[in-house]
Amino acid sequence: GKVVKAAKEAVSVAKIIADQTGKEIFGIAIDDNIDSVVDLAGKMGISTIKGASGITLYHPTMFSRIIVNAARDADVIVFPGTVWGREIAPQVCVKLDATPLSDIIEVVDGSTFKRSIHGNKIHSTINASGKLIITVRAAVFDVPELGDGTANLENISTETVDGDSVMKLAEILASSSETIELTEADIIVSGGRGIGGPENFHLIEELAKELGAAVGASRAVVDAGWRPHNEQVGQTGKFVSPKIYIAVGISGAIQHMAGMSTSDTIVCINKDEEAPIFKVSDYGLVGDLFEVMPK
Residues that bind ligand FAD (CB under 6 A): 192-194, 218-221, 232-237, 249-251, 253, 255-256, 259, 269-272, 275, 288-290
Q: CA separation (Å) from 209 to 114, 147, 212? A: 37, 34, 5
153 vs 250, beta carbon nearer ligand FAD: 250
Among the listed residues 81, 85, 83, 82, the one whose alpha carbon sits nearest the alpha carbon of residue 67:
85
Dihedral (CA of 264, 5, 82, 149) sign: negative
CB of 221 to ligand FAD, least distance (A): 6
12 vs 135, beta carbon nearer ligand FAD: 135
- Residue number, nearest CB to ligand FAD: 234
- DSSP lists the bridge partners of residue 285 as 269
Instruction: Tell me the C-alpha distance between 143 and 140, whole Å.
Output: 9
CB of 232 to ligand FAD, least distance (A): 6
69 vs 218, beta carbon nearer ligand FAD: 218
Where are the strands (E) in the chain, listed by range?
A: 26-30, 48-52, 76-80, 99-109, 112-117, 122-127, 132-136, 152-155, 187-191, 214-217, 244-248, 265-270, 283-286
116: helix, strand or coil: strand
135 vs 251, beta carbon nearer ligand FAD: 251
Tell me 38's DSSP state. Answer: H
Say if CB 132 and CB 98 are below 8 A apart: yes
Which residues touch 11 (CB under 8 Å, ≥6 apart)? 25, 27, 41, 44, 45, 46, 78, 143, 144
144 vs 194, beta carbon nearer ligand FAD: 194
CB of 158 to ligand FAD, least distance (A): 36
Instruction: Tell me the C-alpha distance between 135 and 130, whole Å.
Output: 16
CB of 213 to ligand FAD, least distance (A): 18
CB of 80 to ligand FAD, least distance (A): 19
184: helix, strand or coil: helix
CB of 230 to ligand FAD, least distance (A): 12
95 vs 193, beta carbon nearer ligand FAD: 193
How many Cβ atoms are within 10 Å of 179's Cβ, its own excluded? 15
CB of 203 to ligand FAD, least distance (A): 10
CB of 171 to ligand FAD, least distance (A): 27
90 vs 119, beta carbon nearer ligand FAD: 119
116 vs 232, beta carbon nearer ligand FAD: 232
